[in-house]
Amino acid sequence: ELSKCSKSPSFPRNRLKASREVEPVDLPNCHLVRGVESGSEDIDILPSGLAFLSVGLKVPGIQCFAPEKPGGILLLDLNQDKPRALELRVSRGFDLTSFNPHGISTFIDEDGAVYLFVANHPEFKSTVEIFRFEEEDNSLLHLKTVRHELLPSVNDVVAVGPEHFYATNSHYFSDLFLKYLEVYLNLRWTNVIYYSPEGVRVVADGFDSANGITMSPDEKYVYVADSFAHEIHVMEKHANRSLTQVKVLHLDTVVDNLSIDPSTGDLWVGCHPNCLKLIIYDASNPPASEVLRIQNVLSEAPAVTTVYANNGSVLQGSTVASVYGGQLLIGTLFHRALQCQL
């Protein structure tokens, strides 16, 4: 999606990190996840170790290894040894043929019910789908489709209630040509919205390309990735759900999705070291992968570590990194998924 790159040849190369090459950083005991062949753009892991993967995202102008196959949600049980990802069935009445899932987020209700929120692009439009996870038969019950003029180009969501969420718009416009134009002109019109059944409003704006979004374990802070600006914004969350900026972390890479380690509060970031390679795909020189871990995010001096980096020979175009029980799960825009021991 254009939230990550633009095809314009005169698009500023520094925003794409177009000349950057990664120094490899390997982890022991990594293997590609069975059952993931056409991307795993976002990942959300339940406290039980069940991981949801958003797969098969199709984006105009971006490489796709399964163009005819609709997207889906896969389930991976990280308590198993080298588990296989299995596609979840979706309840009747939901249009699976146009399912094009992007960012995802889970919410666990007081009664233990698990809700899955999915940014969806049916026919390249924008909706947020709300499902309830039925664990006993590995299925998703579709509850609601959210469409709104303040959701023109939804990229990612973080759920804060059974029908309540924050979402990023990675573009101001929904029209494809105007999307190219706004990225090229660097309008910084992208934003974060808050949705509840009672109302929808913009709670933060002025981003170059708002992308991944997540929340601190104590739910006091919201973190927003601004891809082309190479930044992560730390926002304080208030009782009325409004957000105010606390600080900005500046990084040397195109940041995509964000995940939180619930036990430490560390931020895990899927990154594109060189975004140009995502757009102009060359199988002999594929897009690289990079995972950052940010410790002590709220302190004066957060510690940023490159935990994994690969030139694309193993994993192409990383978008997300999530952790559970000493394991790291890395997802990609259109390639495979990688499971590693930390």
Question: What are the angstrom distances between the C-alpha of 338 and each of 157, 194, 251, 265, 299?
Answer: 23, 32, 23, 22, 31
Residues with Cβ within 8 Å of 8's Cβ and at least 6 positions away in sequence, in order, are: 180, 183, 184
Among the listed residues 133, 163, 131, 132, the one whose alpha carbon sits nearest the alpha carbon of residue 148: 163
Is 256 assigned a ligand-binding role in the annotation? yes
Is 155 assigned a ligand-binding role in the annotation? yes
- Whether the CB-CB separation of 288 and 25 falls below 8 Å is answered with no
Q: What is the C-alpha end-to-end distance of the chain, expressed in Å?
A: 30
Query: Which of the residues are catalytic?
Result: 102
- Whether the CB-CB separation of 152 and 158 falls below 8 Å is answered with no
- Whether the CB-CB separation of 228 and 209 falls below 8 Å is answered with yes
Is 211 assigned a ligand-binding role in the annotation? yes
Is 257 assigned a ligand-binding role in the annotation? yes
| Beta partners for residue 214, in sequence order | 223
Annotated binding-site positions: 41-42, 104, 155-156, 211, 256-257
Annotated binding-site positions for Ca(2+): 41-42, 104, 155-156, 211, 256-257
